[in-house]
Amino acid sequence: MGARPKLENGAGVTWPDALEKGSQYIRSAVRSATDRKLCIQPEPSAKSFYTKGIFMSGAKLPLAGLKVVEFTHMVMGPTVGVVMGDMGADVIKIEPMGGDNTRRLKGSGAGYFPMYNRNKRSICLDLKSTEGKKAALELINRADVLVENFRPGAMDKLGFGYEALSKTNPRLIYCSEKGFLTGPYENRTALDEVAQMMGGLAYMTGPPGRPLRAGASVIDVTGGMFGVIGVLAALHERQSTGKGQMVTASLFETTIYLVGQHMAQFAVTGSAANPMPARISAWAIYDVFDTKDDDKVFVGVVSDTQWKQFCEAFGLKELGADPTLAANNGRVAARDRLKPEIEKLFKTFTKAELMAKLETIGLPFAPIAKPHEMFDDPHLNAAGGLVPLTVVDGEKKGAKMKLPALPVEMGGKRFGVTHDIPRQGQHTREVLTELGYSAAVVDAMMKAAQAEGE
């Protein structure tokens, strides 16, 4: 790897060639909704974010010094690693020879690898070979955390189960991301969509009779986040016990946790929750409304104070003076009368006019946006909401792009990029050298197909 460029605030960032060369542009790997041409956008802040101190960096990152070894694929496991990597942990992703197959997914899976594998180093090893397995074990014995999300029993067969590894590294936190926690289902194979279907989330998302998975890998990602929570708790406990432990998070139980509010509704009311498209809303004004220019805006009025502000701002004197509408439950009871009036009112505004007025009042509202439109969102581009990265696989290999940053601020600063998305085996030589392997030994391992790298 090249030397870290020194920026104005003295922080080193390993990544982007675009920053090292002082590039003024980031090439977004999305196509314009209007002309279908590749969007080339001015780089508003990638370098300036570091110089202005918007991103944390180096030793200031909260998990700096923590060593993580990752045996993962798809989304759930990699989410654990990317969160910890964003926060400063040294995450080493052990990939099979030829690289993680997630790199080669098409369609809706094409974004998995680039989204969940930045801030990691990649090493490719043949874990069935003596030397490849030996190198992996040496990494694990120096690690604080191991993350894996393969089918039950797969890691044990390779000799990388918790019981075996904890004997040589008793301080190891072993995070296993699975389909199910302990119980009758624990050996089943599961996917995000399987968990959504059997856990009730798909039933709640689609209209009656049409179960529908959520529009993102919400269970994979949330399950990964629960894994991180467990790891951090285990690390804290290790400070007093000196011992590591097994941490397991799962898809099914994550789904159940998310639908827990609907289970609680049944428990306290005796009425089962209807699917969200057919639900009885807790508020009278809480819908997507049409505008004069044939667009749509979501608007919510969720408190009695907001109702007063809403009526005053839109000149709804009669509604505002009606005592039966002063309290939320009264408005919910009158929803069938109120909604047509509000729909008619909002049809007199364009989308831009309505949103401007709602923002002035301070009411909850939202345009109905599409994911690719977020590349141009002014809020995200203003202060580190998107981080600059490089496409490493596929037809657009080498192109520059921006992807969502970790949605957390600490001390008023965001988490940025210390390592760009790794190429397969990009850091094999570097990592093996850190373990004490000579260049000749590394060459021999690569020649014998025990390791793979650049």
Catalytic residues: 220
For the chain, the 3-state helix, strand and coil shares in percent, each to the nearest 5, are 40, 15, 40
List 451's β-bridge partners, or say none: 125
- The backbone torsions φ and ψ at residue 109, rounded to the nearest 5 degrees and listed phi first, read -90, -5
Determine contact, residues 417/125, Cβ cutoff 8 Å: no
Residues 6+ apart with CB under 8 A from 371: none
Secondary structure class of 94 (helix, strand, coil): strand
List 16's β-bridge partners, or say none: none
DSSP, res 109 = G
Residues 6+ apart with CB under 8 A from 159: 133, 137
Determine contact, residues 28/391, Cβ cutoff 8 Å: no
* Nearest Cα to Cα of residue 325 among 342, 338, 315: 338
Determine contact, residues 126/430, Cβ cutoff 8 Å: no
